[in-house]
Structure 1
Amino acid sequence: MVKQREPIIAIATPYGESAIGMIRISGLGVLEKVKKYVRTKGEIKPRYAHFFALLDEDGQVLDEGVLIYYKSPASYTGEDMIEMCLHGNPLILKRALELFLKEGIRLAEPGEFTKRAFLNGKLDMTQAEAVADLINAKTDLARKVAIRQLQGELSKYVNSLREKLIQLLAYVEADIEFSEQDIPTISREEILQVLKEVQNSIETLMSTVKAGELLRKGINLAIVGKPNVGKSSLFNALLGRERAIVTEVPGTTRDFLSEELHMEGVPINLIDTAGIRETEDVVESIGVKRSIDSINSADMVLFVVDASKPLEKDDWDVYNLVKQRDHIKVLNKVDLGLDPSIAKIFPDGVRVSAKMGDGMQDLKKVMLEKLGVFGYEGMKVYVSARHAQLLKKSLEIIEPLIHSLEKQDISPEILALELREALVYLDEMVGAITTEDVLSAIFSRFCIGK
C-alpha cells in the first residue's frame, strides 16, 4: 500500500549554469502547495507536460518552463509528485527552492526520492542500489551492469533462490503439521537436491563480487620504482598519450600524477609516482614520501626496473616496499637490451619498452589476469560487497545443513528453523526485510534529488 509522506523538494540537476534545471517535489498534498506559485492555461492534469509560469510571493514571474504532475501511485516515488523544468540558472532554481521551503516542503535528504520508491514497493533493494550504480558508472560496461540490475536481473536470480527455499520450507512445515495424516512428504534426497542447487547458485553469485566491486569503484594502480626507470614513459604508454613529462634527468617527477584509464570496462585510477630513493633535496623527499603513501593506498602496484642494467640498492629498497602487496614486475627498456641477472631474479617479469611500445599488450593482459577481469561480458549480474556478505551468511547455514543431511535425517523442526534463518539473509538482500540503519547506509551515498 502506497504511503504519502511529508512533502520533500530538491534540485535534481547538478549545480551550475545549464539549459535546463529540474526541481523535483514529492509527497502529501504537493499539488495544492505548488498551485499557489504556478500559472498554467487550464487545469493541471496528471502525466501531461504543462507550459507554466513560476510566480514569486508578489505574483511576479520568476521564470517559465514545463511542469509535469504524477498522481500516486503512478510516479517514481509512488507518491504524488511534481517535476518542474526551468532554465538552468542557479539563481532561478535557488529562488524556486526558497518559495516552496516557505510553504512547509522539506529539503530532501540524499537518495530520499529513491528511498520512498523502495518503501512504496516501486523498486526492491537491489534495484534501488542499481540507481546509484547507474549514476556513478564510469565505463560502458558498468552502465550495462547497472541497467541489468535496475531492470531486475539480480532480483530475479535471488528471488528464484528464495522461492526454492520457501517451497522446501512449506513441505517441511506441512510434514510437521500433518505428521499423523497420510499426505505426500518430501524425501531427504529431494531436500538435498534443492539445497545443493541453491548452494551452487549462491556460490556462482558470490564469485562475481570482485568483478562487481571493480566495475563499481575501479582500482588505484600505482607505478613505482627508483628514478629514471621509465615510470612516466610507462604511464604515457598505458594512457596512449603524452601526459607526464619525460626526460633523461633522474627525479623529473616530483609529485604524483593521476589519470583515469579504462581497460575492458574496468575504471583504473593510474598513478605515476616520483622516483623512490634516498635524497637530501627537500622537495624531492616530499615526492618520495607521497610515492610511498601511494604504494600503501594502491590496490595494485606496477614495480618498474630498468631491465638493461643490473639491479641497484634503490631497486631493492623499492621492491621491499611492494613485495608483500599485489604487484606486477615490469622490466622496462628492453629495447636497450636485457641484463641476464634481471631475467634470472625476476623470471615472471613482463618485458616492455614503454618508449617504443613493445610488450604493452602483454602487460595489459597480465594486468587484466591479475584483476580477474576476463569474461565480464558473459555475466549478467554482479553482486556488491553487501550482497556477498548476506549470501555468505546464508551459505554458512546451507552448507552444514547439507553435510548433516548426507549423514543422517534431521528432525523437521530443526530443518525448518535452519531454512528460515537462511531465508532471512536472502530476504535482506532484496529488501523484503530491512532495518533503518541498513536503509541509511545504502541511500546516504545517493545524490540529493534522486
Structure 2
Amino acid sequence: MDTIFALASAQGKAGVAVIRVSGPLAHDASAQLCGRKIPLRGTTLRTLRDDKGDPLDQALVLTFAAPNSFTGENVVEFQTHGSNAVVSAVLDALSKIDGLRLADPGEFTRRALENGQLDLAQVEGLADLIDAETEAQRKQAHAVLSGGLGQLAERWRRDLIRAASLIEVTIDFADEDVPVDVTPEVTALLAGVQNDLERECQGVVIAERIRHGFEVAIVGAPNVGKSTLLNVLAGREAAITSEYAGTTRDVIEVRMDLGGLPVTLLDTAGLRETEDHVEGIGIALARKRAEDADLRVFLVEADEALDVVMQVGDIRLLPKADERQKSENSISGLTGHGVDQLVSHVSSVLKARSANVGIATRQRHQDTMKTALLSLTSATDILQRGPEFYEIAAEDMRSAIRSLEMLVGRVDVENLLDEIFLSFCLGK
C-alpha cells in the first residue's frame, strides 16, 4: 500500500493549513521532516526541514497509529502556517521522500471505506457534510455520517437473517414434525422491515430536497413586481426591473437560506399571450419551472385567473401593495410590505414538509431499498402458499439481505466508487 499525502484544508491563503500523510511510511516521513522520530500517537510542536536541512516552517504535528485514525492507517497531520509558499514547500519536501506520492481526489476517504472505518452511506454523508450550506443540510449529513443509516440497515439485515434462518430450519426438517409453526414470527419480522423501508423510501424525496434545495417560484403576469420581490428577498439586484412588461425573458435563480433550509427562488417570465418568439419561449419555460417547483408564490389580483394550477401549500398574494390599500394578503417588494410575513410563511410550509424526512438521503438509497421491498413482498406472498414453497421465500429473503448490504457498500458497489470519490477534494 502506497503512502499518500495532500493538503487537507482549503486551497489559498489562511491562518492554518493542514497537510495529511497516510500509509505505512507516514511516521517515517514525519521523522524526516522533523529531524527525529516523534511519538506514534500524540501532538508535538516541531520545526519542519527539507532534505538539505533548511527550515520550512514551525508546525503542530499530530500523529495517529493504525487502526485508530480516519483512514485506519498510520496518519500524520502537519498544521502549518497557511501561506501558499509554506504549503508548497512542505508538499515539495514530502514529494522527495521515497515511497510517498500525492493522493488522488477522495483517496483518504476511500481508504477509510476499504479499511472499515466508514461504510458507503457514511462516505456519502461526509461528502454532503463538506458541501453543506445550511443548518438542515448539516444536520441531515451528520446523521448519515454518524452511521444512522448503517445501523438501520444492520437491524433490518439481522431481522431478515433471523426470518430466513427460521424458514430454512423448517425446510431442513421437512420430513420431521416441527413442534412450532414459525410462520407468524417470520411474517412479523418481514412486516416490520417492510414498514421501515416504506417509511424511509417516502422520506428520500424530502431528503433530496434538503440536499439540493427546495424550489420556490414567483409567478404572475408581467410587471406585477416579481423581479422587485426577488431582489428584496435576495438582498441584491439579482434581476433587472423596469416599468416595461416582459423585461424578464428567462428564469432567474437565487439561492438562499430560509430558516436553515436551502431554497432556490425562481423569478419567472410574466405569464401572458405574446407574439414575440423569444418571450414565448421564456413564458413556456416559466410555466414548466413553476409547475415543477416545490412551492409557488402567485402575485395576482383577486379576480384574476391563474395560468398555472395552484397546489396545496401554494401562496396567493395581491401585488404592488404600495399602489393599493395595504392588507394582510398583499405584498410590495418596493416598500417591503408583507415580505417578512411571506418569508415566515414559506419557511413554515417547507419546515412542515421536512418533518417527514428519514435518514436515507439519496436516489441510490431509495432504489436499493425498493429492490429489497420487492423481494420482501414476494417472500410474504409466497409464505402464504404453504411449507412446500418455503425454499423460494427463503431465497427472496436472501435477495433482500443482499440489497441491504449494497446499501452500505458491503457488496456489488465497485462501479459506484469512482464516481463517488471523484466528488471529493484532493485532500479528503
Letter in 2 for 1:357: H
> How many positions carry a matched residue from both structures?
419
| TM-score of the pair, normalised by structure 2 | 0.84
Distance apart, 1:121 and its partner CA = 1.0
Alpha-carbon distance between aligned partners in 2 of 1:235 and 1:360, rounded to the nearest angstrom: 13
Alpha-carbon distance between aligned partners in 2 of 1:36 and 1:444, rounded to the nearest angstrom: 31
Q: Which residue is equivalent to 2:101?
A: 106
Q: 1:66 to 1:279 in 2, by over 3 A?
A: farther
Letter in 1 for 2:426: I
Alpha-carbon distance between aligned partners in 2 of 1:409 and 1:176, rounded to the nearest angstrom: 8
Bigger drift between 143-152 and 172-181 goes to: 172-181
SS in 2 for 1:208: helix
Residues 244-266 of structure 1: CA distance to partner in whole angstroms, max 9, x if unpaired? 56554545667765432223432
| TM-score of the pair, normalised by structure 1 | 0.80
Q: How does 1:15-54 map to 2 (within 5 A)?
A: 15-39=11-35, 43-54=37-48
SS in 2 for 1:117: helix
Out of 400, 404, 413, the residue aligned to residue 435 of structure 1 is: 413
Out of 265, 272, 275, the residue aligned to residue 270 of structure 1 is: 265
Residues 31-77 of structure 1: CA distance to partner in whole angstroms, max 9, x if unpaired? 2234323235xx31022112122222322111111111211111110
Out of 347, 360, 374, the residue aligned to residue 352 of structure 2 is: 374
SS in 1 for 2:128: helix
User: Is the CA contact 1:352–1:360 (under 8 Å) kept in the aligned structure 2?
Assistant: no
Q: 1:105 to 1:376 in 2, by over 3 A?
A: same
Out of 337, 353, 356, the residue aligned to residue 357 of structure 1 is: 337
Alpha-carbon distance between aligned partners in 2 of 1:195 and 1:385, rounded to the nearest angstrom: 23
User: Is the CA contact 1:51–1:67 (under 8 Å) kept in the aligned structure 2?
Assistant: yes
Alpha-carbon distance between aligned partners in 2 of 1:334 and 1:17, rounded to the nearest angstrom: 47
Alpha-carbon distance between aligned partners in 2 of 1:119 and 1:168, rounded to the nearest angstrom: 30
Distance apart, 1:447 and its partner CA = 2.0
Bigger drift between 417-426 and 399-408 goes to: 399-408
Residues 365-388 of structure 1: CA distance to partner in whole angstroms, max 9, x if unpaired? 46864x6x4163576624321111
SS in 1 for 2:35: strand
RMSD between aligned alpha carbons? Answer: 3.5
Q: How does 1:180-191 map to 2 (within 5 A)?
A: 180=175, 185-191=180-186
Structure 2 spans left out of the alignment, 5+ residues: none
Q: How does 1:108-147 map to 2 (within 5 A)?
A: 108-147=103-142
SS in 2 for 1:432: coil
Q: Which residue is equivalent to 1:341?
A: none
Structure 1 spans left out of the alignment, 5+ residues: 339-349
Q: How does 1:39-438 map to 2 (within 5 A)?
A: 39=35, 43-103=37-97, 104-180=99-175, 185-239=180-234, 247-250=242-245, 258-273=253-268, 275=270, 299-300=292-293, 302=296, 304-307=298-301, 319=307, 330-333=316-319, 335=321, 352-355=330-333, 357-358=337-338, 361=341, 365=345, 369=349, 373-374=351-352, 376=354, 381-406=359-384, 408-409=386-387, 411-438=389-416
User: Is the CA contact 2:61–2:78 (under 8 Å) kept in the aligned structure 1?
Assistant: yes
Letter in 1 for 2:33: Y
Identity %: 32
Q: 1:53 to 1:47 in 2, by over 3 A?
A: same
